[in-house]
Structure 1
């Protein structure tokens, strides 16, 4: 009888663990501790697993069509794997080429704008676009309404012309400056990444000055012991060759540590160059840092105003940007605004003497100032606003600062995602090309002293992996469709930062039930706070989200995922609350599949079609 490494009936070496009461807790405790120790690489590991699962599922599905009665040959399996992998890479590159530049641009613009926005400005915008807008419609109606015309005539007669523009000017100024800065930084990053000559020296200088000391400080003991080991090896080699000790100068106390640290930093540089993934990530950080330095110098140069004028005129020519004034008027107002309201209104009066203000600008001025007045009046007198006012005064600046910090961190994560996806794809293709060898190697663990560990963990991990893989295979499709439909809806409604909000919807689509509610909060917030935003626009966003969720619940989920992930919504919310408390974001993403496994497999021992079938012989 030929020996088969995967033959479970073959004799195996004695296990290192015996069947005692502490057997299972110890095995699973060590397994979970290992996962926790490798948590920094969990995202790449999870992506690798997901890519392998999706590609293997597609290979099996296509192979059944070619040869339904027999297993596919090694050649056909390899051909299908490479073909699907190539299609997946091309699809990801296409999506990255189309979505990543506008996503980064919007992210930078939003971060810069949030940094320049105060909590008082956010409060005034909310009041004007919610309560103020509602009261304005109730009191004045539409522009054709006699009440509206009478109110605007009284506004102009009172000499309040320009007050509305004064209220809205900081937002307009901040938005344009943010857009210009984001566009400049993105152009600089692309220019740096495309350069071939001189980049290596500049990157190395930046790395040795800023990154190498941080890396050395975070792993000082490791690098010092590594250096000492190499020095001991060199000294032994020199002693054998009867040569003078070239490193004896380093043993002198005068400059020993400084010269040692310099050599260690050089070794760190060599280690980074040997790791293409880390090198690509650091090059991206370097390009971002250099672009920010260039922006700081450029902002103080004479060319800044000229290029900003060109940018402004390009934006002004596009009606969708809602810019009400030309550049000459804007520049005069920008100079007067820091001097106070009276100086600003004097510039408005001087402009009206030379160029009569259009009816559209008069309506904009009247509506902006009056809506804010009505909103602030409600804010100061309404009992409903007391509690909100108290907490907004205390917590508003802190929340805004935390939001800017989170956005900045999120943008940094977005910049690293292409590198992480590339690493996961590389690992996945190596595993898939040797898929049979990987399976055989894993099965061979059963013929070692780790047999009891393998028998305990392998069936559960296999079933759980299939459940998570199948759930996420369908969830990825649903998330892509949700994000695409949301992008179209936001474009039709006219909501800004469409690509960022589409990414938010894509990510939160992996969280069952709660993800829809969470994704609606930033969408409605932007719909209210953006220029021209209102409660009506937020209501349109809510209607679009409800329609998309209806399509997901009625059409997509039943056909793509089926009843595998079906749990009662109340139970899902309870699971998510517990999982998020203990495991953070990964708890929200993986909590439901893991709970389904624990309920249906561990507790009920019920079958999950295509994933788990209970062994009835044991019962």
Structure 2
């Protein structure tokens, strides 16, 4: 063996010795570092999520849009057989995909958002006018009352039905059923009318009152400026004194302070100064302009409600509803106005108005049947409610807890409707952030990677792979889940339209949101759908059963066809563990905890704790030990 070969062998042996020493010494060091680093890092991550929970929607939408657009761009680039480092092609494809997504959002928004807002406002108005007793009576009449009525009297062609109807009218009870149903009818029609006409009418009236500058300034000086002055009176008064001291002589300032109208003149000058400050701040001016617009809209709508035009428009709307038998409007407009004037005077006055109307214009057979069935169904339902021992516990708690439950439901619906109104703004913000990030995508990547060359290299090496893996897990999970939720919502919308359930757009939105919640999402979305199917005019247990069957079929389609093909087996947890995670996540993060809790838990359990692979997302590297190195 020559000298060069000996030197080479010596170098290789020394190299192997160094490698073996590094592995032997680094393994315990890594264990010593990572046992506390990972819990600390993910603990800080969860704390940050909790602190920033108010910004989840914009942040989550921005992340999801970036992930989806980058995924589509990658597919297109591979299909074109081009390199991903072609920045010009990458930018062109990104902008094209972004434009198509914006167009899709615009089209969906024009189709879904207006009827969604109208239905939400109508439902909210009805719930605000209702009370727990009315809701309870409607449930009893449309469930137990209807079942007992059908078993006792059958259909209008049945002899038992005809006999009971004649007895009902002979007893002088004509009008009792209509009296019970009239508050719901009146509230529903007004709510639907206002929800249909409010948006267009307000926009028209708002545009009529918009005069350049003057109305906004006058509104600000009369409404907002006094509020701002009151909140920071010491600050504004001190500024005013400093201004006066610099522009006027001391004796003039003393003379001014001794005048009878000193404070009013000072306050007016301060309000004018606040208006000048607002005009100098474009962001604050835009916010105040939006507040002024909403205030003018509310004022315009209130003025419209007290005008003759409102009554004319409502009459047209009512006649349209009366002409459609599916809307369950039993009386014409003139009769409705008579009953509306008599109802506040009490039941005797109402029934007297009904009987007087019968003398001049006898009611049709359909109206008489409606009156009879409404009264008898409620009577049978209340009779069962008061005598059945199977509902003792429910009956005891209904009186005390019913108003609280209804109030909580109205509050949640009001908050949810407010969120729906803000969704276009939040989606627009997310789109804007996403396009800026995507345009500078390579710069963002290089900037983040540059952290590795700083003193934070060790933290970066520990955190970056985990964040990337978590991002891939959440991105792939929700990319598929968005498609599944959209299909579920569309199928539900179609099913509710076929069955005849009202507020189908609001209920379809609930299905879309709750489709992101594993295991319990179908129950959470199904309960309000069944409740509406019972409470709506013409509702019944049979309609609720049809809804349950439809939801079951849609859920089977999701579980057996959509989910396996779209999402696959990215990560599965035991249903009991899922429910525990959802309870904990909802307590700390609310609705977003229900949506994001399971994907985050899957990552923490499988990657952080168990170091288990997630196919296509996280593949842990095999641990090197000194035993693997040749001696």
Q: Which bracket does the TM-score occupy, shorter chain normalised?
A: 0.7 to 0.9
Distance (Å, rounded) in 1 between the aligned partners of 2:429 and 2:320: 40
List aligned pairs for 1:535-550, cutoff 5 A. 535-550=541-556
State TM-score, norm by structure 2: 0.85
List aligned pairs for 1:567-586, cutoff 5 A. 567-586=573-592
Moved more, 169-178 or 396-405: 396-405
The 1:216–1:56 alpha-carbon spacing in structure 2 relative to 1, beyond 3 Å, is farther
Q: Is the 8 A contact 1:129 1:535 kept in 2?
A: yes
State TM-score, norm by structure 1: 0.86
Q: Is the 8 A contact 2:526 2:548 kept in 1?
A: yes
1:143 to 135, 138, 156: 156
Distance (Å, rounded) in 1 between the aligned partners of 2:316 and 2:391: 44
Deviation, 1:40, is 3.0
2:72 maps to: 58
SS in 1 for 2:71: helix
2:528 to 522, 546, 559: 522
1:600 maps to: 606
SS in 1 for 2:156: coil
Distance (Å, rounded) in 2 between the aligned partners of 1:303 and 1:438: 57
2:88 maps to: 75
The 1:344–1:257 alpha-carbon spacing in structure 2 relative to 1, beyond 3 Å, is closer
List aligned pairs for 1:7-406, cutoff 5 A. 27-28=41-42, 30-67=44-81, 70-71=83-84, 73-191=86-204, 197-198=210-211, 201-203=214-216, 205-206=218-219, 245=246, 263=273, 266-268=276-278, 270-271=280-281, 273-274=282-283, 279=287, 286-406=292-412
1:74-115 residue CA offsets vs partner (Å, 9 max, x unmatched): 222112111110010001011111111111111111111111
Q: How many residues are aligned here?
A: 584
In angstroms, what is the RMSD of aligned CA positions? 3.3
2:452 to 433, 446, 451: 446
Distance (Å, rounded) in 1 between the aligned partners of 2:205 and 2:433: 28
SS in 2 for 1:274: helix
The 1:383–1:332 alpha-carbon spacing in structure 2 relative to 1, beyond 3 Å, is same
Distance (Å, rounded) in 2 between the aligned partners of 1:23 and 1:257: 59
Q: Is the 8 A contact 1:213 1:265 kept in 2?
A: no
Distance (Å, rounded) in 1 between the aligned partners of 2:430 and 2:328: 43
Q: Is the 8 A contact 1:55 1:84 kept in 2?
A: yes
Counterpart check, 1:509 vs 2:515: yes
Moved more, 37-46 or 187-196: 187-196
The 1:60–1:479 alpha-carbon spacing in structure 2 relative to 1, beyond 3 Å, is same
Deviation, 1:245, is 3.7
Q: Is the 8 A contact 1:181 1:295 kept in 2?
A: no
Deviation, 1:212, is 7.0
SS in 2 for 1:616: coil
The 1:72–1:514 alpha-carbon spacing in structure 2 relative to 1, beyond 3 Å, is same
Moved more, 525-534 or 348-357: 348-357
SS in 1 for 2:497: helix
Counterpart check, 1:485 vs 2:491: yes
Q: Is the 8 A contact 2:206 2:300 kept in 1?
A: no
Q: Is the 8 A contact 2:206 2:297 kept in 1?
A: no
The 1:216–1:51 alpha-carbon spacing in structure 2 relative to 1, beyond 3 Å, is farther
Distance (Å, rounded) in 2 between the aligned partners of 1:188 and 1:117: 26
Distance (Å, rounded) in 1 between the aligned partners of 2:62 and 2:37: 30
Q: Is the 8 A contact 1:155 1:161 kept in 2?
A: yes
The 1:611–1:315 alpha-carbon spacing in structure 2 relative to 1, beyond 3 Å, is same
Deviation, 1:426, is 0.5
1:367-405 residue CA offsets vs partner (Å, 9 max, x unmatched): 111000001111221122332222111122222222222
1:455 maps to: 461
Q: Is the 8 A contact 2:135 2:535 kept in 1?
A: yes
1:155-176 residue CA offsets vs partner (Å, 9 max, x unmatched): 1222222221111111111111
SS in 1 for 2:495: helix
Moved more, 491-500 or 179-188: 179-188
Structure ID, larger Rg: 2
Distance (Å, rounded) in 2 between the aligned partners of 1:61 and 1:480: 22
The 1:429–1:119 alpha-carbon spacing in structure 2 relative to 1, beyond 3 Å, is same
Deviation, 1:488, is 0.6
Deviation, 1:470, is 0.8
1:560 to 560, 563, 566: 566
Q: Is the 8 A contact 1:163 1:369 kept in 2?
A: yes
1:15-48 residue CA offsets vs partner (Å, 9 max, x unmatched): xxx9698655655555555444433323211111
Deviation, 1:270, is 4.3
Distance (Å, rounded) in 1 between the aligned partners of 2:143 and 2:249: 75
SS in 2 for 1:169: helix
